[in-house]
Amino acid sequence: MHLSLLLAILLETDSPPQQPFVVAQNTADEIPLQSGGAWGQSDRQADHATVAINEDRDILIAYHTTRSDIQNTGTGRSPFHESLKQVEIAFLKYDNQTEDWTLEDQVLIGSTDYNPLVSQFQDSVRCERPDVIAVGNRFFVVWTRRYDRDQTGQAEEPAVLECAWVEWTGTALQIYNNSQTIGRGVKLDSDYWVRECAGVPDAVLLDVNGSGEPTVGVVYPHQTEFGDIGGGAPDTRLCDLRLVVTTLDSSNQIPLPDNPVTLVSGIDFNGPTAPQGEQAAGLILPDCARALPDPSTGVYRFWLAYEEQFLPLAGTVPDGRIRLCLVEQNVTGPGWDALDVHTFGIAGSPYARRRPNLSSFPDDANGLDLVSIAFSKTNTTGNDDVVHQEWSYDSDDGLTQSITSEPVHEFENTSDHHTRPIPLHGRTSPLVRRLYLGSNESTAEILEYDVDSDDLSVKRSTSESLGRPAIAYWTELSSVPDQFVLTWEEQAQGVSYSRIWIRVF
């Protein structure tokens, strides 16, 4: 027998069995990464995690990782290839006997070795910034595949919007992508550009099974004006927000969707010009939250928030606005309309308002259209104040700010630098309204603010760095307690990369 084969057999025989990765209640755990082969190096960066928990209390985390080890063999080289990314998912199965979660599978769901636009200038394409939502006992994942702006004919940075459905069948994790090849998503849109808006998608559940098929909407930005690229006006950069609706049929196939619908057109973008603009990706960042279909017509509805940054009016402070609206499908046609729009910010108050996030729970809203919103507003000292409010809509009064408890509790901003606030809007009885955010001072922390109790608690603390929290929520309305799943990215001591962490409580 060959010596190397004998050593391999001995090592395999003598090695102890790998212990399963288990997440217990109220513990902070780092999600391990697969490495080698198609996965990449073990020290790759992992960030931009989103998380969902389904009706079976199973958890799916979607995130992207860097692939600096991949060498481009096309005709050109650019810094783009130093930041190639791929989209990965981690599935954790709930055990109702032990009440913990076991990491059952990890899948490279959006790989770099797919070139659906058939560019002759690059053979590796970046997949990034995924979103995941739970749909019954399944999950829906969507992400952006971005092409290199420095290659010939790609200055406007073409992109492909891709998706896949994920389901645990009892013994294995199934990826539904109309293909036998894992790593390739179904194309929801392949005719749009994302040079500076980044094309970051957000998914929202429209209907679980009322029409026989689960239905999901995806909102994402499409850039239409590029400044002086292609001879345009230097200061004119505009984007649209598009919506595409998709389903999973009874054969576990994803039908090709209808053409995307433009929800909002002509949104101003006045962040840094690319490639520096890539550092401020998401200056027109959409976020969605579920709303119940209209009770009289059955047409779909959902909440939408996005940001718009105008040129600075004075000094260097941009005039940043946040738009909040309830969007409804036309009864007789393919379009969608905003029933009402509220704007946070006015020209006379030029603050940088960034990163709106929405949360809703219409199953326990007493028939009302309710949503919670959170975003950051840079104050005069350079720190971020956090805005966290609840809003409601009705046909008589439109959008109005609502009061959730007596006395009215409100997150108190301090001199600390709070980042990326995420609201959690849960059941009404007992009242579940919370806020999650990062704080990076001498000690980096993930904080939880409970609106009902007016308590501020620390969910994670480290002397290194962490941030970008994401939250998922599960409840049985007939009983308590509820379940919360918190993820974030964290850099450990002595290393140069971040990992995705999880805490369930």
| pLDDT score of 150 more than 90 | no
**pLDDT band at residue 295, thresholds of 50, 70 and 90?**
confident
Q: For the ranges 172-181, 257-266, 341-350, which has the lowest average pLDDT?
A: 341-350
- 181-192 pLDDT, tens digit per residue, is 999 999 999 999
Residue 56 has a pLDDT of 97
- pLDDT at position 8, please? 35
pLDDT of residue 6: 36
d(CA 499, CA 21): 15
- Confidence at residue 2, expressed as pLDDT on a 0 to 100 scale: 42
H or E stretch including 13?
helix 3-14
Q: Percent of the chain having pLDDT more than 70?
A: 87
Of 356 and 211, the structure prediction assigns the larger pLDDT to: 356
Of residues 383 and 179, more confidence is placed in: 179
Q: Which two tokens stand for residue 22?
A: 């288990």
- The residues, ordered by sequence, that sit 6+ positions from 124 with a Cβ below 8 Å of its Cβ are 67, 70, 72, 81, 84, 112, 113
- pLDDT reading at 154 higher than 60: yes
Per the listing, tokens 């004006």 go with: 225
For residue 420, give the H/E element and its range: strand 418-425
Query: Kindly report the CA angle at 436 between 433 and 439, in degrees rounded to 5?
Result: 145
pLDDT at 185: 97
Average pLDDT, the chain: 88
pLDDT higher at 396 or 405: 396
> For 37-95, how does the pLDDT look when each residue is reduced to its tens digit (9 = 90+)?
999 999 999 999 999 999 999 999 999 999 988 865 544 445 555 579 999 999 999 99
User: What pLDDT does 348 receive?
Assistant: 77
Domains observed in the chain: 23-504 (2.130.10)
Instruction: Give the residue-averaged pLDDT of 104-117.
Output: 96
- Quickly list DSSP for 328-390: EE-SSSS-EEEEEEEEE--TTS---EEEEEEE--GGGSTT-EEEEEEEEEE-TTSPEEEEEEE
Which residues are CB-neighbours of 438 under 8 A, at least 6 positions away?
418, 419, 420, 444, 445, 446, 447, 466, 467, 468, 469, 488
Q: How confident is the model at residue 274 (pLDDT cuts 50, 70, 90)?
A: low
